[in-house]
């Protein structure tokens, strides 16, 4: 939870880099004389004014100058930088005051050093500043982890929160530039530990929501220097109560397992599918992607997002089968403080963080019925309400759902809402299994060989005999299975030529088993998975929680599968 700005540990504010100001960091030696200090009850930030350009002031995460105040409009005002900067109210709900005078909407007003601009309950102070970076000590990771242990103890005694962020860069050469950007973007009270191309940030008295804004702006500054970086953030004690837990939780999400296949479009079936996806991408219609496990549903969803008007906005992937019902609800919609026992602070839901972007609901068929009702309301009203909240918030999100289940059959069995199904399936894309698009196999093999041999002097070759064995396999695990097989073969071959001896033994029954009707078309009573669920449940003595843990899914997801296969009686929806 945020704290009043005047109780922050030092007078320096969290320097947030706007989209326009981020570009100015490509030349840190250039002097930028003016900056804007933003002060509210829960937020403090300093924004450098670039030499020229326009910066939107507001409460939306997409603006250049973010102000965390409920009385501030999403797009409140616009500041035009230059030798004589100006400000213009954009027709905000509560108006803009400069020097105590209310601005006429859509009329420019000149700004000078010392001017105080009031927007909602926040103040913007125009002041002189240079971009000379103050010296900053960069700790080692071990030093930071030691400090983190002490900080957890202090926070527990004082009952306050702080955040830990991890920034990972794709190359070591970017380390010096990233240090310059971090030095400019963080307060002197913040602690930075460096280990290779990764930075570990201890942000004192900063909530996860506030820290996320800072990290997004840092990411923009890195992008302005053509540096690719990924980041994650965690908050004490909401996400973890020890240093190890916080660092583990704040590690940035890894790239999707099959994302390297994005440009592998060789088979005519695949080409036609991607042409259809490209046509769908230009609109905002919801898309349902179906296909077996490992065929590349997430790659398809990313492709649609990348070709849409939302490409520069967030792409958020949520696995509906990996979380319990209560946790999934809190993660999706967020919660207000006191909404339940452990809700010690306000939490912004994932849907809110993806505003203006795209949300992929993976394993949508595993979503509990109660949450299906809430999701349907979001789709229909384009609004989201936090758990324990009384006010709905506007939301502009495109939904892409994915599943390996037959949702129509789930609807017929009362396990999935029919109205939600039709809202999600505005357009349906069915990705065929790898065995049905043979022309994609060899390009995928070469792509995975290059990736797996990244640390070798050259990419290993694969023999004709080994390639023939790969073609003969039916690939029940599809692209994901192929990637694992190639990675294993590269290791076993030690960088040399890959032969059949480096490949797993393929049983003759593999092809026959996979060639049977897919899960989407065959009777669930005959599904092999049903037998597996029964066997695991029996081995666990009927204990559903233990069985779910062994199967790698939440208990709710297991129960829904047991209901789908008729192993237990379906529960009546609330």
CA angle, 166 as apex, 161 and 170 as ends, to 5°? Answer: 165
d(CA 403, CA 370): 19
Q: Give 174-208 pLDDT, tens digit per residue.
A: 556 677 778 777 877 788 888 767 888 999 888 88
CATH number of 139-250: 3.30.70.270
As a whole number, mean pLDDT of residues 375-385 equals 87
Question: Is the pLDDT assigned to residue 252 strictly greater than 60?
Answer: yes
Q: Give the bridge partners for 48, in sequence order.
A: 35
Instruction: Please indicate whether residue 139 or residue 309 has the higher confidence score (pLDDT).
Output: 309
Q: What CATH architecture is 259-430?
A: 3-Layer(aba) Sandwich (3.40)
* Helices vs. strands in the chain: H and E counts, helices first: 19, 26
Nearest in space to 15 (alpha carbons), one of 176, 190, 175: 190
pLDDT mean over 51-65? 81
| Percentage of residues of the chain with pLDDT beyond 70 | 77
What is the mean predicted confidence (pLDDT) over 294-317? Answer: 89
CATH number for the domain whose boundaries are 434-508: 1.10.8.60
CATH class, range 524-564: mainly alpha
Greatest mean pLDDT among 50-54, 472-476, 518-522: 472-476
Q: In which element (H, E) is residue 78 found?
A: strand 77-81
DSSP 411: H
Closest CA to 343 of 392, 404, 291, 386: 386
User: 237 preceded by cis ω (within 30°)?
Assistant: yes
**Against a cut of 0.85, is the pTM above it?**
no
Q: What is the mean pLDDT of residues 12-27?
A: 33
pLDDT at residue 28, as a whole number: 30
Res. 5: pLDDT tops 90: no
Order of strands, sheet of 398-403, starting from the edge strand that comes earlier in the sequence: 315-319, 358-362, 398-403, 287-290, 427-430
Q: Quick check: 83 pLDDT over 50? A: yes
Q: What pLDDT was estimated at residue 450?
A: 82
Confidence tier at 398 by pLDDT (50, 70, 90)? very high
Which pLDDT score is estimated for 256? Answer: 39
* Chain mean pLDDT for the chain: 76
Instruction: Return the pLDDT at 301.
Output: 92
DSSP 391: S
The pLDDT of residue 506: 57
Check residue 135 and report its DSSP letter. P
Greater model confidence, 561 or 164: 164
Buried b (16+ CB within 10 A) or exposed e, 202-221: bbbbbbbbbbbbbbbbbbbb
What are the sequence ranges of the domains in the chain? 31-128, 139-250, 259-430, 434-508, 524-564
Domain 31-128 maps to which CATH number in 3.40.640.10, 2.60.200.20, 2.40.50.1020, 3.40.190.10?
Answer: 2.60.200.20
| pLDDT score for 563 | 75
Provide the 3-class DSSP secondary structure of residue 299: helix
Q: pLDDT over 90 for what percent of the chain?
A: 14
The position carrying tokens 């380390």 is 175
Q: What is the pLDDT of residue 484?
A: 85
Average pLDDT on 56-82 reads 84
């Amino acid at each position: 939870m945020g704290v009043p700005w005047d109780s922050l540990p030092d007078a320096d504010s969290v320097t947030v880099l706007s989209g326009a100001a981020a570009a100015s960091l490509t030349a840190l030696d250039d002097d930028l004389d003016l900056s804007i200090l933003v002060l509210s009850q829960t937020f403090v930030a300093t924004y450098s004014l670039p030499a020229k350009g326009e910066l939107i002031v507001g409460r939306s995460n997409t603006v250049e100058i973010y102000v965390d105040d409920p009385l501030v409009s999403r797009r409140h005002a616009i500041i035009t930088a230059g030798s004589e900067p100006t400000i213009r109210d954009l027709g905000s709900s509560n108006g803009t005051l400069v020097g105590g005078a209310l601005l006429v909407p859509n009329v420019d007003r000149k700004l000078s050093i010392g001017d105080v601009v009031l927007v909602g309950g926040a103040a913007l102070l125009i002041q002189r500043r240079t971009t000379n970076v103050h010296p900053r000590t960069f700790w080692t990771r071990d030093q930071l982890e030691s400090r983190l242990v002490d900080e957890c103890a202090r926070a527990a005694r004082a009952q306050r929160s702080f955040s830990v962020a991890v920034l990972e860069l794709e190359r070591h050469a970017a380390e010096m530039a990233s240090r310059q950007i971090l030095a400019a973007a963080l307060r002197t009270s913040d602690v930075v530990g460096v280990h290779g191309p990764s930075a570990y940030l201890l942000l004192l008295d900063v909530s996860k929501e506030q820290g996320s804004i800072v990290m997004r702006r840092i990411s923009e500054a890195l992008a302005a220097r053509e540096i690719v970086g990924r980041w994650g953030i965690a908050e004490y004690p909401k996400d973890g109560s020890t240093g190890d837990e916080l660092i583990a939780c704040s590690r940035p999400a890894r790239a999707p397992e099959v994302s390297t296949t994005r440009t592998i479009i060789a088979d005519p079936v695949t080409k036609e599918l991607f042409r259809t996806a490209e046509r769908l991408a230009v609109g905002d219609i919801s898309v349902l992607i179906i296909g077996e496990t490992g065929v590349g549903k997430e790659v398809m969803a990313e492709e649609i997002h990348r070709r849409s008007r939302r490409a520069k906005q967030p792409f958020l992937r949520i696995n509906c089968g990996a979380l319990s019902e209560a946790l999934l609800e809190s993660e999706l919609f967020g919660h207000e403080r006191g909404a339940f026992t452990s809700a010690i602070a306000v939490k912004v839901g994932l849907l809110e963080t993806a505003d203006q972007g795209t949300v992929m609901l993976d394993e949508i068929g595993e979503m509990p019925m109660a949450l299906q009702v809430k999701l349907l309301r979001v789709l229909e009203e384009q609004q989201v309400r936090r758990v324990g909240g009384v006010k709905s918030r506007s939301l502009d999100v495109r939904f892409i759902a994915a599943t390996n289940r037959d949702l129509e059959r789930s609807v017929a069995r009362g396990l999935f809402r029919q109205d939600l199904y039709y809202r999600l399936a505005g357009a349906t894309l069915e990705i065929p299994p790898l065995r049905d698009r043979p022309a994609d196999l060899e390009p995928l093999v070469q792509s995975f060989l290059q990736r797996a041999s990244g640390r070798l002097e050259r990419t290993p070759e694969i023999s004709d005999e080994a390639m023939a064995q790969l073609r003969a396999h039916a690939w029940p695990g599809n692209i994901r299975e192929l990637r694992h097989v190639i990675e294993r073969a590269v290791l076993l071959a030690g960088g040399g030529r890959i032969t059949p001896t480096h490949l797993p033994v393929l049983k003759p029954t593999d092809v026959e088993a996979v060639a049977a009707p897919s899960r989407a078309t065959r009777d669930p009573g005959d599904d092999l998975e049903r037998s597996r669920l029964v066997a695991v449940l029996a081995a666990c003595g009927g204990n559903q929680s233990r069985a779910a843990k062994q199967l790698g899914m939440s208990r709710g997801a297991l129960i829904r599968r047991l209901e789908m296969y008729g192993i237990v009686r379906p529960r009546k929806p609330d």
